[in-house]
Amino acid sequence: MTQTLKTKVLIIGAGTGGYVAGIRCGQLGLDTILVDGGDGLGGTCLNVGCIPSKAIIHAASKFETVSKAANGGTLGITVADPVIDFAQTVAWKDGIVRKLNGGVAALLKKAKVKVVKGWAHFSDAKTCTVKTDDGDIVISAEHVILATGSESVELPFLKFGGDVISSTEALSLDAVPERLVVVGGGYIGLELGIAYRKLGAQVAIVEMADRILPLYDKALTDPVAKWLEKHGVELHLGAKAGGFGDGQLSITTRDGTPMQLPADKVLVTVGRRPRTRGWGLENMGVTMDGPFVKIDDRCATNMKNVWAVGDLTGEPMLAHKGSAQGEVVAEIIAGHDRRFDPVTIAAVCFTEPEIVSAGLGPLDVEGRDDVITAMFPLAAIGRALAIEAGEDGGFVRVLASKSDHRLLGIQAVGQHVAELSNSFAQMLEMGAVLEDVAGVIHVHPTLGEAFHEASLRALGHAIHI
């Protein structure tokens, strides 16, 4: 039996862009239906991405700390050799995901958003059919918000299945693999590769570029490369992966030499692509921008009252970007005058150590003589030393205009610097100048003092260096 529904707002995708848009629509009194056909409420981020990966990374760091204490001691602490039951770790991670799933469901219910579970297929820009366990539902809407997210890129010669896995499977393994080969040296591959190294796996990374994290400048990535070297992670840069069989991954090294890398699991993390296939996008008449849906600064497509948010709309593919766009679109539909025009969208790599980047970096201002650049080492910050975060070459760096001292970009690398990202983004969004940061009394002892000192250094009078 086919059911027919009409609504003011129809949202396709329950990830961070879609469910936030849904909640905000509900708060604004808009009749809203949210179709959840992917990974579940919260989408990739909550279910198989941001949240579960950070849980595994946290568990790995705890295990590494105990392991250090068992091998010669650390901070005067000595313990017996630790043992990990990874199935229990994964169960703990799954519990966090379930709790957050339940929280999102409760928030949507409170906002009076109707959630339909199933995968939608559009016949035109405003009408879709959703196949559910209880039959088909045809939904027509005045406004449609597309928030279908993205999916892992699969290599034709390394198709997912068996021991060739994506980040999704890497977060739910039954046990820590003895030998893990990661294909792709971007942030996803490095985050998970480092976590599994901490958990005791032998890890090798195969990257086509000449260095890891090629989108970041070398000063930011050097501390991560040093960690990998120190901890015995095998790096094959400028190398190409081939086929996998009999526990061996074929690669071709930078100089053209063929090699075989032993692997119990091969984790392929060569990027993500927008999820544009299988739900009738081709029937909607929207204009594309390469592989992405083209939008303007209102997140509007070329089709009237059809909107798009999140990974579907292009780089950066970050959960917090999608959430912000979802709020903007909901408020526009409700009649508010809004634009999506951020000064910056900060990004974090949860590697070891962590990397934060907001605004312009050295690669963006290369060759310009109108920019001040100043760095301050975490090794000169008391709090960093007290929590063992000042010994890995970490720093905070600011870039500012010479003429008016306006902040242009802020970066950091070091343990726990992810927590500085919001301060960086806030200062850039508010149009702060170096004197603004210098004039804020920063709490002592905190890592944030490095931001203060980097700004003072740019002005020519850092205190602690």
The set of catalytic residues is 444
Query: In angstroms, rounded to a whole number, what is the distance separating the alpha carbons of residues 321 and 342?
Result: 9
Two structure tokens written together for 455: 């700004």
Nearest to 318 by CA among 298, 296, 341, 347: 347
Query: In angstroms, rounded to a whole number, what is the distance separating the alpha carbons of residues 35 and 116?
Result: 5
383 phi and psi angles, rounded to 5 deg: -60, -40
Q: Which helix (H) or strand (E) holds 95?
A: helix 86-110
Distances (CA, A) of 25 to 111, 426, 456: 8, 26, 44
β-sheet bridge partners, residue 259: 251
Burial of 58 (0-12, 13-18, 19+ CB in 10 A): middle
In this structure, the dihedral spanned by the alpha carbons of residues 440, 441, 445 and 448, taken in order and rounded to 10 degrees, is 0
Please compute Rg for the chain using Cα positions: 24
Query: In angstroms, rounded to a whole number, what is the distance separating the alpha carbons of residues 385 and 447?
Result: 10
Two structure tokens written together for 213: 């994290």
3-state secondary structure of 19: helix
Two structure tokens written together for 43: 């989408």
Contact yes or no for 15/38 (Cβ under 8 A)? yes
Query: In angstroms, rounded to a whole number, what is the distance separating the alpha carbons of residues 188 and 201?
Result: 17
Distances (CA, A) of 219 to 162, 211, 226, 326, 377: 38, 12, 11, 35, 12
Helix, strand, coil percent values for the chain (each to nearest 5): 35, 30, 40
Two structure tokens written together for 120: 């939608």
Contact yes or no for 412/397 (Cβ under 8 A)? yes
Specify the DSSP class assigned to residue 378. Answer: G
Specify the DSSP class assigned to residue 286. Answer: P
User: What are the helix (H) ranges across 146-239?
Assistant: 167-170, 187-198, 218-230
Provide the sign of the torsion angle of the four alpha carbons 108, 114, 117, 121, taken in this order: negative
Distances (CA, A) of 130 to 41, 275, 286, 444: 16, 17, 20, 55
